[in-house]
Amino acid sequence: MDLEPTEDQAALRGAVAEWLDHNCSMDVVRGVAEGTTDHDVLWPAMVELGWPALTVPEPDGGLGFGIVEMTLVAEELGRHVAPGPLLATAIAVPFLVGAASEGAVALRAAIAGGASATVGVAERADGWAPEALTAGASHKRWVLDAHAATHALAIVASGDGFDLVDVTAAEASPIVGLDPTRRLAELSLGGGTDPLHHFAADEVRFAIAHGTVLVAAETVGCCQAAFDLTVDYAKVREQFDRPIGAFQAVKHQLADAYVQVEKARALAHLAAVTIAEDDERRATTVAMAKAAAGDCQAIVAEKVIQVHGGIGYTWEHDAHLYVKRMKANDLLFGTARHHRRHIAEATLAA
């Protein structure tokens, strides 16, 4: 198992980072958060670059990249707090891969051509998780970009498994979430729609694992950017005629944050590789990655606010944009507490 990115993977990440550096400044992000810039401002250019097609299989017109490459892209999306439906679309694609129905094939081709997609799963009190996918409820809440996506999917219980249903025509009601740069909605599902694919429980868990790792990676990228912002501030903010970064108490806080970011990044990449190689440790490493991302965001968010002091609480400073994305991501696909419980239960069962 090689955990080092290949030259092609590094080049992909570098190209994505460079483009976002030039096109997704914090002024753009702030404009989206304040409602003066459209949430989909970056989407047409992303489509032109072929980003929606990254993980769509080549026979369907996509680029055929896998979870490892998309994890690197997701980290860059988080580092720039990028708005738009790219992450939601990337999460939806694994639910379509392998489905041979005419509708699924057409939808994969549509995504490769620039359509955006989202998928709704059931919720739990402590987040989203495979175990939650047991109730074919008439409503799906906290669906990413549901009211703006060109295609919407839902997972509903069916017999001994789950059906993937196209609910594009369903009513989508916007939900005000913590992160103003990310749109959420509630889908009201109708009946009578033929399923695109029937999943066994393990297939659903495999698709959910993709989404879990992508959210973890995006969280890591956001934490990295917030950490960098805080380090830069500690170098220039002075107290007692010295930069506050020179004080040992501040150094310790930043060192703690740095360790958490590096640990979470390593585990996110490990989880992506185990998925790509269908390693038997996949479920455990995915849970570890999401738990580490949750721990990371909790510590980094705390240090960002503490080190910035009073200015860190203000709307005018960018700190809250990073913190809100971290906190919102922590609730997607299960919190750190949920995934640690999963690891403990799996260990006891073994």
Total domains present in the chain? 1
Q: What pLDDT is stored for residue 125 in this prediction? A: 35
Q: Among residues of the chain, what percentage have pLDDT more than 90?
A: 64
CB atoms within 10 A of CB 253: 19
Q: What pLDDT is stored for residue 126 in this prediction? A: 36
> Is the residue at 279 inside a domain?
yes
Mean pLDDT of the chain, nearest integer: 89
> Is the residue at 190 inside a domain?
no
> Given a cut of 80, is residue 160 above it in pLDDT?
no
| Of residues 270 and 200, more confidently modeled | 270
> Is the residue at 108 inside a domain?
no
SS3 readout for the chain: CCCCCCHHHHHHHHHHHHHHHHHCCHHHHHHHHHCCCCCCCCHHHHHHHCHHHCCCCHHHCCCCCCHHHHHHHHHHHHHCCCCCCHHHHHHHHHHHCCCCCHHHHHHHHHHHCCCCEEEECCCECCECCHHHCCCCCCEEEEEECCCCCCEEEEEEEECCEEEEEECCCCEEEEECCCCCCCCEEEEECCCCCCEEEEECHHHHHHHHHHHHHHHHHHHHHHHHHHHHHHHHHHHHCEECCEEHHHCHHHHHHHHHHHHHHHHHHHHHHHHHHHHHCCCCCHHHHHHHHHHHHHHHHHHHHHHHHHHHHHHHHCCCCCHHHHHHHHHHHHHCCCCHHHHHHHHHHHHHHC
Joined together, the tokens standing for residue 295 give: 């721990």
Q: What pLDDT is stored for residue 128 in this prediction? A: 34
> Given a cut of 90, is residue 46 above it in pLDDT?
yes
What CATH number has the domain bearing residue 236?
Answer: 1.20.140.10
Phi–psi pair at 209, nearest 5 degrees: -60, -40
* Residue 225 belongs to domain spanning: 203-349
> Is the residue at 235 inside a domain?
yes
CA distances from 21 to 26, 31, 141, 196 (A): 10, 16, 32, 38
Q: What pLDDT is stored for residue 191 in this prediction? A: 58
> Is the residue at 65 inside a domain?
no
> Is the residue at 276 inside a domain?
yes
pLDDT 10s digits, 165-220:
888 887 888 888 899 999 998 887 665 567 888 888 888 888 999 999 999 999 99
| Of residues 89 and 345, more confidently modeled | 89
> Given a cut of 70, is residue 66 above it in pLDDT?
yes
> Is the residue at 269 inside a domain?
yes
Q: What pLDDT is stored for residue 303 in this prediction? A: 96
Q: What pLDDT is stored for residue 123 in this prediction? A: 42
- What confidence category does residue 121 fall into, taking pLDDT thresholds of 50, 70 and 90? low
Q: What pLDDT is stored for residue 296 in this prediction? A: 98
pLDDT 10s digits, 275-333:
999 998 999 999 999 999 999 999 999 999 999 998 988 999 999 999 999 999 998 88
| Of residues 216 and 141, more confidently modeled | 216
Cβ–Cβ under 8 Å, residues 118 and 153: yes
Joined together, the tokens standing for residue 309 give: 């002091």
> Is the residue at 74 inside a domain?
no
What distance in Å separates the CA atoms of residue 250 and residue 221, rounded to the nearest whole number? 22
- What pTM, to 2 d.p., does this model score? 0.93
